Amino acid sequence: MKVHLLAPPGGHSAQRWSGGVSMPPLGLLYIGAVLEREGIEIKITPADVWKWSWRRISREIQDFSPDVIGVSSTTENRFQSFKLIRTAKKAQPRALTLMGGPHASLAAEDTLAHLPELDAVVRGEGEMTTLEVCRVLEKGKKGLEDIAGISWRIDGHIRNNPSRPQIQNLDHLPYPAFHLVPYEQYNFSLEVPGWGTFPAVNMITSRGCPFCCNFCATPVHWGGEVRMRSPKNVVDEIESLKQKYGVRVIYFFDDTFNADPGRVTEICDLLIERKLGLFWKCDVRVDLMDRPLLKKMKQAGLFHLSFGLEAGSERIRNDVIGKKIDVNDFHDLIRQCQELNIIPNSFFIFSHPTETWEEAEKTIDIIETYQDKIESSIALLHVYPGTPLETEARRSGVLPRDFSWGQKYHSQVITLPAAQGNVPLYQDRLSWSQISELVFRWAFGGGSYPLSRKMASLLTSLRSWGILKRYAIMAFIYLKLKANQFLKKPSPSSKTG
């Protein structure tokens, strides 16, 4: 039994996150580690790191001649993942093709309906499901009807098998198989102010999220119950990564690293006890933080803390999004970070359902209040499959009745592929001019919007009058705000006054 897992040439990140940074694909590495432990021959091809052409990928698949081919997918990179499945099936027609990852998991029927080269979708966690698929094939069985956690075709019809129970004890999983990829070719590094730039690695210590933001796919994909690795298991892996790869910075990829504050304290105590001399960053929920915990995290190496407020309006934040947090907790956490010399980074989103201009201004007012004092990240509201927001988008007509995730372009669906990834954007009450103004006010206040670097990709994405019109509006608002900014600058004479 031979299994070939592949990451598409564009990697797993959206266009809006591109900038030369690449990180090992943890999902594939976990599956690879489990299969390898069970004696299955495994090959992982990170086409993004090697910058391979489709022809080179096809030749690699033919040379390895696998029995099973697995491709991961996110909504941002889904079309490259689709192409990779087509390439794989053409290169190795007898192989069983699988697709996993958050997009395929949450849009399984849609994906299978529009991708005939795909044999099955692995929904949710992929480790045990992929292993069972291999065992079934080893026994010479052709049907997949008894495998929990997959969607597949039988007699021309799509069938959804029952979901697989989630892995409750994550400590039973082996560490990600970093040795199966060319780790030295990943260029992931992070700057720690005052110390320098060091090699970094991404790591996940829990799965699931107990909170239910309307736009987030995590509770649907991983589940609402948070399953956590033990503190010892986490720190043992960190120590191993430092010894094997010289890692100095850890980026915890958990959706809510502090879902259990007591566990965070235990992890910090172990990091301090072992004197590993590492730095780290993570994402947290503001109302689960307090000063003693933050101080302990700082002592253990925390230098950068991210957290979402999403919206300045309490109605939007709590009633529409379902965030259920108090803005005072947000302000308190920023103040505490500044006192402890930790970089605070807050997430904001524009264009929520029913959001008015006045409510959106509350968000940009907060951003501008902290201009040059904190880092801030913004996004236009994206619609992802399986989320409550997708249900609302289909009900309201933001996603038309004939919309399919397998369709690259739809005249009635708003996307900005070059700027925000090829994901539907939710637009309700805010006009495109207002949305553009919000984005550029953030950018002029210290946000990062590399317009010149994106220009070439912007021009190649002009596939409809709708996209052209939206970019034209953005360009007009950009120039207008730039002109206003220039006119407000004091003249040389007034400076010497």
Both tokens of 199, joined, read 């090699």
pLDDT at 468: 82
More confident of the two residues 169 and 469:
169
CA proximity to 6, closest of 34, 25, 30, 33:
25
Query: Residue 14 pLDDT more than 60?
Result: no
Query: Residue 78 pLDDT more than 80?
Result: yes
Is 133 within 8 Å of 150 (Cβ atoms)? yes
Query: Residue 323 pLDDT more than 80?
Result: yes
Query: Residue 392 pLDDT more than 70?
Result: yes
Q: How many CA atoms lie within 13 A of 98 on its CB side?
A: 28
pLDDT at 23: 87
**What is the pLDDT confidence band of residue 420, given thresholds at 50, 70 and 90?**
confident
Q: What one-character-per-residue DSSP string does 228-268 give?
A: E--HHHHHHHHHHHHHHH---EEEE--TTTTSSHHHHHHHH
CATH of domain 188-379: 3.20.20.70
Is 294 within 8 Å of 335 (Cβ atoms)? no
Average the pLDDT over 92-113 and give the result.
97
pLDDT at 462: 56
pLDDT at 16: 40
Degrees to nearest 5, angle at CA 188 with 265 and 454: 120
CA proximity to 379, closest of 431, 438, 453, 322:
438
Q: How many residues in total does the chain contain?
A: 497
H helix intervals, 114-230: 127-138, 218-221
Q: What residues contact residue 75 under an 8 Å CB cut-off, 6+ apart?
A: 102, 103, 382, 384, 385, 405, 421, 423
Distance in angstroms (rounded) separating the CA atoms of residues 27 and 29: 5
pLDDT at 463: 61
pLDDT at 20: 54
> Which amino acid belongs to residue 113?
A
> What is the average pLDDT score of the chain?
91
Give SS3 for 355.
Answer: coil
pLDDT at 111: 98
pLDDT at 464: 67
Residue 213 burial (C-beta neighbours within 10 Å; 0-12, 13-18, 19+): buried
Query: Residue 490 pLDDT more than 70?
Result: no
Is 332 within 8 Å of 376 (Cβ atoms)? no
Q: Cα-atom radius of gyration of the chain, to the nearest Å?
A: 23
Residue 336: other Cβ atoms inside 10 A: 19
- Comparing 18-22, 175-179, 243-247, which segment has the lowest mean pLDDT? 18-22
Q: 2-160, which class in CATH?
A: alpha beta
What confidence tens digit (pLDDT) does each residue in 204-259 have?
Answer: 999 999 898 999 998 888 888 899 999 999 999 999 999 999 999 999 999 999 99
**What is the pLDDT confidence band of residue 494, given thresholds at 50, 70 and 90?**
very low
Q: Do domains 2-160 and 188-379 have the same CATH topology?
A: no
Beta bridge partner(s), residue 97: 69
Average the pLDDT over 256-269 and give the result.
97
pLDDT at 264: 98
* Residue ranges covered by each domain of the chain: 2-160, 188-379, 382-497
CA proximity to 29, closest of 94, 111, 98, 126:
126
**What is the pLDDT confidence band of residue 448, given thresholds at 50, 70 and 90?**
low
Give SS3 for 18.
Answer: coil
